Each structure stands twice: as structure tokens, then as C-alpha cells.
């Protein structure tokens, strides 16, 4: 506690509110458990105020009060002096450590130079071999071209011969069709002739039969003529004999003819009567059949009438009972009609009441929708005002995320380590941690519990991603120990759309927003680059030259240089920059970069990231209608995990990687401390990581840090260090974010902002 000369009150430092303490050079806070200073820290203004403070008292002759004030002042001075002594000891220790690190780096540089010379000699030999192979390949190419030319000539000749054959084939096919048509017509004619021949043969056979019949008839006619001649002669003889008798018979004949005529007349009359009698008989038979049918039907009806007569008494009784029932039903119907009228009136009343209730419910729904809309707008306004306050304040925003318990974890109860206060003032912003029986409370901009999904996490940063399209520089980086879920937060799980990380979701939002803004006249161009910082060496993850992108003895084929321009932009020389048009292209590049990234296995994580991964997208937008130009940069960074050598069990190359990671994170802590104390010199150049992120940490960028925590009780010490470091980061004040408008740079080099 430091007394200020303005109001004489005691105030707490920001780090004391969050329970944080100074961090040492190894990126872990220095413990003050046995120190009288505790978690108290002093700034230059506090020391000046303490030195220039004057003793004040109501009565200058009240020596007791003056002595008490003097004792309190001396106590604070001793506390400040002791804090300075401890800080001086820490600086001496850090200086000694830096000297040893400098000697180590000098030895490494010498080894790297020797390895580089050897590599240059190897590369020269490879270049000679490649030149020899190039000459032989050129000779082969000439031979192949000559052979190809000869083959092309023969191919042309064969093509011409094939064309002539095709033409002759077409003409022959036409002639063949004509011959086939003529053959078909000839076959039809032959068939018709054969049919006619068959008919003629049949007709000839029939004529022969008819001729034979005529011949037999002729012979028979000759015989009959002969017989007729004989009979005529006999008849002539008989005629002379009969002429005498003719006269007597003629008289008898006339009388018989007369009698025969009478008999014929009587016969005709009798025949007519018989026909009439037959017709009458048929008519009578028909009438008899009809009468029989009528008699049968009448008998059936008579039997029915008899049955009806027997059942009439029962039917009369039924009719009486049914009449009574009908009367009862009429009465019931009248009662039902009266009830129906009453129910109709009641239904009308209920309908009116229902309509009134419906109107009230609709009004309540409208009020509820208005309240929900006001709540949503209020939440948006709160977030906007909160972001505005942070932008005006210039602080780095900090989000805290605790990963869920995994099956491989040693303990399944993470509630013993972390708890989340439910007070409205600190809801979703506070986290409590219990370590060694002590409770530590921290307050951040947002705290995500283990059951929070990737989508809910992205919703909180979606507006920050939108700022990149609006022309701001945006930086989001994940910090935490190994195995705390940093890569999962940034990248997610491959092949599972529901668990995509912040980087894929940010890209989807950017391209969807670009499509939505096209009708407003906005046109955007995007460029992407990806790199990693491995053992304090920059490596291009999108390089197409595999030899230059691989590490051999810790040295790459290219040495990438970081430069800053006057506008606060960062340029990396010889870095691969890719123009992209869709999220699918960027996803392909991310997969390629993930395959090239350096990972390793430790005792703390099966797939541990051994380098700092930096994804950068530069967005340039032009509005054709307003001629407005914006230029934004989105930096998404997955830092390597901090780890203790005693816990990770790293040896050999893993040991060197761990030392390089801890050194870069320690440099990041030094930069944060310098910014928090507002020192004149900020050591950005102590590490490639801090020098690359200089505009994000000390410039006009919107910066957000995710501090990722592991719920394992065995990781509580590292989690506490991460929380304290995050609290110090949240207290840092950087430059106010500035929107880049009306800027069109002619330099095509990529900027990191």
C-alpha cells in the first residue's frame, strides 16, 4: 500500500487486485511468500509520491500523532527499500542468467556458422550434380522433340489416309444401301409372282375337274337322247293307239278336273284353318304360362299376407312402443335444443373472453419481444461500450478458458482446483483457484467454463474479427502451459465440424461478411501467410521448396528478417504470401501448414506444439461507390506451451526446444512488465516472437489473449503462474486502436501489423 499526497488514502496496485506478482526471467512469477512486501509493487510515480510526501497533522504540537505518522511513513519507506533490494537481487540473478544464455547463444552461433559452411559446400555439390543432370535432360529433350516431330508427321499422314478410307467407306455404304433396297423390291416382286403362279395352278386344276365333269355330262346327255329317241318312237306308236281312247278319256278328264279343283279349294281352306288353329294354340300356351306364373306369385304373396297377419299384432305393439319412444326423444330433443342454445350463448361469452385473453397474450408477447429486443440491444450496447472503454483505455483484453477433464487426466474432479463465482457483478468474468490451501481470485474480461462449446467461444470474439474487415489491426493469441488446450482453441479437431477452432470459424465469418457486403459496393482482396518460430528461427510453413523449409542442424536454407516501417507495419523478408478467394483455399493452406509444423511428444502431452504458430491475413477493401479504402490485418497466434523441465522430462532436442520456448515466453513476460510499468525502454528485440508482435503489443492494434488452463491438480502451480501473468497482461495499457482508412500501399510485401 502506497500513500498518495492527493487524498491521503491507501490504494492497492492492480496486480494485487488480481493476486498477481512479478514474474522472473523464466516466465514464472517470483514467489514473495517469505517476504514482507507480499504482492505489493511500486511504480515510479509511487516512489516519487512517497519521497515527496509531507507529514500532515491537524495540530502541529500533537507530537504523538506526528510520531505515529512518522512511524507509518518510515515503515512504508522500509517496505519500499526492501522491495527495491529484492528487485535488485532479482535483476542481478537475471543478469547472471542472461550472461550464461549469451555465452550459450554465442557457442550455438559458432556451431551454426560451421554447419552453414558445410551446408553451403553440400549445396554447391548438389548444384553441380543438378547442372549435369540438366544438360543430360536437355539432350534427351532435343531427341524427344525430334522423335515427336517425326511421330507428328506420320500421324498426319495416317490421319489423311484414314480420312480417305472414311470417305470411300461412306460412298460404299451408300451404294450398299441402294443395292439392298433394289434387292428388297425384287424379292417382293418374286413373292407376288409366286403367289400368282400358285393361284393359276389352282385355277387350272379346277378347270380340269370341270372339264371332266362336262365330258361325263355330255356322255350322259347322248345316252338320254338315245333313250328319248326310243321312247319317242314308242310314244308315237302309242299315240296312234291312244287317240281313239282320247276322246272318251277327255270327257272323263274334264269332269275329274272340275272335281279336282273343288277338292283343291277345300284343301286350301283346311290348311288355312289349321294354321289359324296352330297360332291360337301357341297363344293359348303362352297365356297359360303367364297365368301359371301369376298364380305362383299370388300364392307367394298370399303366404306373405298370412305371415303379416300373424305378425300384425306384434307390429302394432312395436308401433305403440316406438311411438312412445319417439315422443320421449322429441322431449329430449327439445331439452337438448334448449341446452344447445344455452351452450351457444355460453360459448359466445367464452369466445369473447378468449379473444380478450388472446389480445392480452398478444400484447404480452409483444411486450416480451420488445423486452428481449431491448435486452439484446442492451447486451450489444454493453459489449460495444465495454469494447469502446477498452479501446480508449488501450488495455489488452484477456479471456480465460479451462479445458474439460480428459480420460487420461490423473483426477476427474476439477472443482477442487477451480470455481466460478455466481455474483452478478462478476458473473462469467471471475475465476477462483485453490492451491496449497489458499484461494486466489482473478477477474478477466471473460471466463469460459469447461463445458463451453467452440461456437460459444467464437461468438465472444466475432466482433473483434469483424474489426479486421473494418480496417483495424487485430491480434488474438493463445497462452498457457503444455496440454492446456491452446491448439484446440485456435484450430479445433480436424474432421469434426462442430469442434472447429477460432481460426477456421474466423475465416468463415470473414468470407460470409465479404459476400454480404458486395451489394453495398465493397470489394476485398486477401493475402495469407503462415510461419512458425522454432528455436528462435523463423520458418515459412507455406514454402513450396521442401529443402529450404526443413531443418538440418537447426539451420534453414533461408534467413527471414523482420522489419518495421513508419506506419507500424511488420514485414518479413522472403516470406511466402498467397492470394486467397475462399475459405476452402485457406483451409487447404492450414492443413498444409499443420503438416509442416514442428510437434513432439513429452510426458505432459502426446502431440505438443514445439513452436509458435503465426497465421496472418491481410485484408484490403475498396468501396466503389464511396471510394473508401480500408486495410486491416488479422493475426491469429498459437503459442508454444510453457512447461517445467522436471515435469515434461525433456532431453536432447526436446530440452533445447523447451529452453527456447521458455526463453521466448520469458521475453514476452519482460515486455508485458515493461509496458505495465510504462518504462521508456521495452525489450521487444530480446526475442523473435516479441519483435514480430511489437505492433500488436505496443502499437495501435486490438489485442486479445486467451489464457488456457488445465484442470489437473498436478498442474495447479503452472495454472497459477499463467493466471498471474494473464492478470498482468490485462493491466497493460497499449496504444489506442486506429482504423486505417484511405490507404493504398504500393509495396506488395506482406505486413503483420
Q: How far apart are CA 665 and CA 650, in angstroms?
A: 17
Q: Which span out of 9-23, 177-191, 318-332, 713-727 was modeled with the highest average pLDDT?
A: 713-727
Lowest mean pLDDT among 49-53, 204-208, 378-382, 676-680: 378-382
Q: Is the pLDDT of residue 27 over 60?
A: no
What pLDDT is stored for residue 302 in this prediction?
67
**Nearest C-alpha neighbor of 568 from the set 688, 705, 397, 738:** 738
Please indicate if the annotation marks 626 as binding a ligand.
no
| pLDDT surpasses 60 at 607 | no
Asked if 753 and 701 touch (Cβ cutoff 8 Å), the reply is yes
Residue range 462-472, pLDDT digits in tens: 888 888 888 88
**3-state SS class at 609:** strand
User: What does the DSSP 8-state code read for residue 159?
Assistant: H
Total residue length of the chain: 753
Task: Please give the residue that has the higher pLDDT: either 263 or 656.
Answer: 656
Judge contact between 724 and 443, C-beta under 8 A: no
The annotation status of 28 as a binding-site residue, yes or no, is no
Against a cut of 0.85, is the pTM above it?
no
Q: Is residue 592 part of a domain?
A: yes
**CATH number, domain at 618?**
3.40.850.10
pLDDT of residue 620: 92
What is the Cα–Cα distance from 416 to 112, expressed in whole angstroms? 48
Per the CB < 8 A criterion, the answer to whether 486 and 708 are in contact is yes
What grid cell was written down for 453? 462449446
Distance separating alpha carbons of residues 114 and 127, to the nearest angstrom: 20
Which pLDDT belongs to residue 390? 53
DSSP 8-state symbol, 56: -
What per-residue confidence (pLDDT) applies to 10? 35
pLDDT band at residue 552, thresholds of 50, 70 and 90?
Answer: very low
Q: Is 521 annotated as a binding residue?
A: no
Q: Which domain holds residue 595?
A: 395-544+561-599+607-743
Q: What is the mean pLDDT of residues 290-317?
A: 71
| Domain contains 628 | yes
8: annotated binding-site residue?
no
Annotated ligand binding at 467? The verdict is no
**Residue 510 falls inside a structural domain:** yes
Q: pLDDT by residue (tens digit) across 361-380?
A: 888 888 888 877 877 676 66
Q: How many domains does the chain have?
A: 1
Band of the pLDDT at 436, cuts 50, 70, 90? confident
pLDDT above 90 (res 447): yes
Residue 417 φ/ψ, nearest 5 degrees = -95, -50
* 627 located within any domain: yes
Say if 161 falls within a structural domain. no
Q: Residue 217: what pLDDT?
A: 72
Which range scores top for mean pLDDT: 399-403, 417-421, 712-716, 743-747?
399-403
Asked if the structure places residue 374 within a domain, the reply is no
- Report the mean per-residue pLDDT for the chain: 77
pLDDT band at residue 226, thresholds of 50, 70 and 90?
confident
Residue 487 annotated as binding site:
yes
- Rg over alpha carbons for the chain, rounded to the nearest Å, is 59
Question: What is the mean pLDDT of the segment spanning 584-593?
Answer: 88
Instruction: Match 557457442 to its residue by C-alpha cell.
Output: 107
Cβ proximity of 648 and 602 under 8 Å: yes
Is residue 724 situated within a structural domain? Answer: yes
Query: CA-to-CA distance for 538 and 367, rounded, in angstroms?
Result: 58
Residue 496 lies in a domain: yes
What cell was used for 35?
517476504
Got the DSSP string for 415-428? GGTEE----GGGTT
Amino acid at each position: 500500500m502506497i500513500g498518495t499526497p492527493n487524498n491521503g488514502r491507501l490504494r492497492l496496485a492492480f496486480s494485487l487486485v488480481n493476486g498477481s506478482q512479478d514474474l522472473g526471467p523464466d516466465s514464472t512469477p517470483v514467489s514473495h511468500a517469505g517476504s514482507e512486501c507480499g504482492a505489493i509493487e511500486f511504480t515510479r510515480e509511487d516512489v516519487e509520491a512517497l519521497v515527496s510526501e509531507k507529514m500532515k497533522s491537524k495540530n502541529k504540537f500533537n507530537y504523538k500523532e506526528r510520531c505515529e505518522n512518522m512511524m507509518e511513513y518510515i515503515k512504508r519507506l522500509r517496505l519500499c527499500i526492501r522491495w527495491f533490494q529484492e528487485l535488485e537481487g532479482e535483476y542481478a540473478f537475471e543478469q547472471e542468467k542472461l550472461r550464461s544464455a549469451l555465452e550459450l547463444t554465442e557457442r550455438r552461433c559458432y556451431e551454426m556458422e560451421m554447419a552453414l559452411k558445410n551446408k553451403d559446400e553440400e549445396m554447391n555439390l548438389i548444384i553441380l550434380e543438378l547442372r549435369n543432370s540438366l544438360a543430360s535432360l536437355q539432350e534427351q529433350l532435343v531427341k524427344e522433340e525430334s522423335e515427336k516431330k517425326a511421330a507428328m508427321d506420320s500421324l498426319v499422314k495416317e490421319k489423311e489416309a484414314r480420312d480417305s478410307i472414311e470417305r470411300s467407306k461412306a460412298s460404299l455404304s451408300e451404294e450398299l444401301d441402294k443395292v439392298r433396297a433394289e434387292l428388297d423390291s425384287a424379292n417382293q416382286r418374286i413373292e407376288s409372282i409366286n403367289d400368282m403362279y400358285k393361284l393359276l395352278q389352282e385355277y387350272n386344276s379346277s378347270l380340269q375337274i370341270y372339264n371332266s365333269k362336262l365330258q361325263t355330262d355330255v356322255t350322259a346327255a347322248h345316252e338320254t337322247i338315245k333313250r328319248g329317241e326310243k321312247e319317242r318312237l314308242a310314244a308315237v306308236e302309242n299315240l296312234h293307239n291312244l287317240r281313239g281312247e282320247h276322246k272318251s278319256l277327255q270327257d272323263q278328264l274334264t269332269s275329274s278336273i272340275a272335281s279336282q279343283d273343288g277338292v283343291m279349294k277345300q284343301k286350301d281352306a283346311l290348311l288355312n284353318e289349321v294354321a289359324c288353329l296352330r297360332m291360337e294354340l301357341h297363344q293359348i300356351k303362352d297365356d297359360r304360362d303367364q297365368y301359371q306364373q301369376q298364380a305362383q306369385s299370388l300364392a307367394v304373396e298370399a303366404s306373405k299376407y298370412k305371415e303379416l297377419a300373424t305378425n300384425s299384432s306384434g307390429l302394432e305393439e312395436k308401433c305403440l312402443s316406438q311411438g312412445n319412444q319417439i315422443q320421449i326423444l322429441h322431449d329430449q330433443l327439445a331439452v337438448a335444443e334448449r341446452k344447445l342454445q344455452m351452450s351457444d350463448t355460453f360459448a359466445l361469452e367464452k369466445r369473447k373472453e378468449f379473444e380478450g385473453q388472446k389480445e392480452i397474450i398478444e400484447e404480452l408477447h409483444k411486450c416480451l419481444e420488445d423486452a428481449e429486443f431491448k435486452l439484446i440491444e442492451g447486451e450489444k450496447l454493453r459489449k460495444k461500450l465495454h469494447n469502446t472503454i477498452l479501446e480508449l483505455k488501450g488495455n489488452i483484453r484477456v479471456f480465460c478458458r479451462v479445458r474439460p477433464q480428459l480420460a487420461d487426466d490423473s483426477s476427474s474432479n476439477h472443482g477442487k482446483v477451480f470455481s466460478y463465482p455466481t455474483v452478478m457483478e462478476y458473473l462469467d468474468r471471475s475465476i477462483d483457484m485453490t492451491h496449497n490451501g489458499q484461494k486466489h481470485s482473478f477477474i478477466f474480461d471473460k471466463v469460459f467454463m469447461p463445458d463451453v462449446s467452440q461456437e460459444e467461444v467464437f461468438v465472444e470474439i466475432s466482433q473483434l474479427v469483424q474489426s479486421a474487415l473494418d480496417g483495424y489491426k487485430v491480434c488474438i493469441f493463445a497462452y498457457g502451459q503444455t496440454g492446456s488446450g491452446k491448439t484446440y482453441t485456435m484450430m479445433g479437431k480436424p474432421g469434426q465440424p462442430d469442434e472447429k477452432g477460432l481460426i477456421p470459424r474466423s475465416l468463415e465469418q470473414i468470407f460470409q461478411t465479404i459476400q454480404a457486403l458486395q451489394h453495398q459496393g465493397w470489394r476485398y482482396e486477401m493475402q495469407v501467410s503462415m510461419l512458425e518460430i522454432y528455436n528462435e528461427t523463423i520458418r515459412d510453413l507455406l514454402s513450396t521448396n521442401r529443402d529450404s523449409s526443413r531443418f538440418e542442424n537447426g539451420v534453414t536454407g533461408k534467413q527471414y528478417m523482420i522489419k518495421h516501417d513508419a506506419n507500424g507495419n511488420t514485414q518479413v523478408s522472403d516470406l511466402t504470401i498467397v492470394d486467397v478467394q475462399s475459405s476452402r483455399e485457406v483451409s487447404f493452406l492450414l492443413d498444409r501448414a499443420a503438416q509442416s509444423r514442428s510437434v513432439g511428444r513429452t510426458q505432459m502431452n502426446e502431440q505438443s506444439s514445439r513452436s509458435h504458430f503465426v497465421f496472418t491475413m491481410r485484408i484490403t477493401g475498396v468501396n466503389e461507390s464511396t471510394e473508401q479504402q480500408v486495410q486491416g490485418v488479422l493475426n491469429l497466434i498459437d503459442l508454444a506451451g510453457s512447461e517445467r523441465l522436471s515435469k515434461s522430462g525433456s532431453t536432447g532436442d526436446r530440452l533445447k526446444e523447451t529452453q527456447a520456448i521458455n526463453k521466448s515466453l520469458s521475453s514476452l513476460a519482460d515486455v508485458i512488465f515493461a509496458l505495465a510499468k510504462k518504462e521508456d525502454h521495452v525489450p521487444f528485440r530480446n526475442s523473435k516472437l516479441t519483435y514480430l508482435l511489437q505492433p500488436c503489443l505496443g502499437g495501435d492494434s486490438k489485442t486479445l489473449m486467451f489464457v488456457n488452463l488445465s484442470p489437473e491438480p498436478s498442474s495447479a502451480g503452472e495454472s497459477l503462474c499463467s493466471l498471474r501473468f494473464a492478470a498482468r497482461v490485462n493491466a497493460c495499457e497499449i496504444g489506442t486502436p486506429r482504423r486505417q482508412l484511405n490507404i493504398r500501399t504500393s509495396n506488395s510485401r506482406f505486413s503483420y501489423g
